[in-house]
Amino acid sequence: MDDKDNRRTRKRLATRQSISDAATRLFMERGFDAVTIDDVAAVADVGRMTVFNHFPRKEDMFFDREEEIQALAFGAVRGRKPGVSPIEAVRILAHDLVTRDHEFMLLSDDTRRFVKTAMDSEALKARAREMRDDFTRALAIVLAETSNQPTDDPNAHLAAGLIVSVWTVAFAEAQKLFDRTRNASEAKRCFITVIDRGITGTAAALAETAYV
């Protein structure tokens, strides 16, 4: 990639981030349903079609980091060390994110507002369910492929469903604890406790399969 392409890519990413930042600020201030595409375009100082070029759906501006989250999960499974099972790789990822204080594990007033904004919008709740289902199917394929199993293996889809449920509950419980105590360390311990218990249960459910 030459310098011209690099500049074009940087400009495109900067515009996308500017739109995302503007949208997030408006969604948090007014609520998702009260904000229009034109509102976002005006605050980001871009045209309406520029917004759509970067975000085909309004909901995509709210959940703009979903691809990064998926990449972390899939990378952990694909890049696991020899002797580490696919299910164990997901547990290791959780511990690693907490140990590194990864931004996706930050528990704060901002994340509380993010969750509240999502829960206050039927459109966002529907999109979240859709994304969760898409992610579960994609994870099942990654689990199967990295275990030399057919992508329609029912055990892979069971494992993916259980893993996604465990992470969903773990994060929700950690956030609720943080909301009550404002103690991030305690909330992260809660997250890890639920992850460990849930992944242990998942491994037991998938005993004698290629995923344990």
Each residue's pLDDT tens digit, 149-192: 999 999 999 999 999 999 999 999 999 999 999 999 999 999 99
Sign of the CA dihedral 104, 107, 110, 113?
positive
Q: Both 53 and 72 in a single domain?
A: no
Whether 28 maps to a domain, the answer reads: yes
Q: What is the pLDDT of residue 117?
A: 93
Q: 146: pLDDT confidence band, cut at 50, 70 and 90?
A: very high
Q: Both 84 and 162 in a single domain?
A: yes
d(CA 32, CA 121): 7
Q: Both 36 and 131 in a single domain?
A: no
Q: Both 194 and 110 in a single domain?
A: yes
d(CA 20, CA 15): 9
Whether 212 maps to a domain, the answer reads: no
CA 5 to chain centre: 29
Q: 3: pLDDT confidence band, cut at 50, 70 and 90?
A: low
CATH code, 9:
1.10.10.60
Q: Which alpha helices (DSSP H) does the chain contain, by range?
A: 3-30, 37-44, 48-54, 58-62, 66-78, 86-99, 109-119, 122-145, 154-181, 184-205
Q: Both 143 and 185 in a single domain?
A: yes
Q: Both 170 and 80 in a single domain?
A: yes
Over residues 122-137, the mean pLDDT reads 96
Q: Both 94 and 156 in a single domain?
A: yes
Phi and psi based region of residue 46 (left: phi greater than 0; alpha: psi -120 to 50; beta: remaining): beta
Q: How many domains does the chain have?
A: 2
Instruction: Identify which of 107, 131, 71, 96 has the alpha carbon closest to the alpha carbon of residue 187.
Output: 107
Q: Both 151 and 178 in a single domain?
A: yes
Whether 128 maps to a domain, the answer reads: yes
Q: Both 112 and 41 in a single domain?
A: no
Q: Which domain holds residue 129?
A: 66-205
Sign of the CA dihedral 105, 107, 108, 112?
positive
Identity of residue 128:
A
Whether 162 maps to a domain, the answer reads: yes
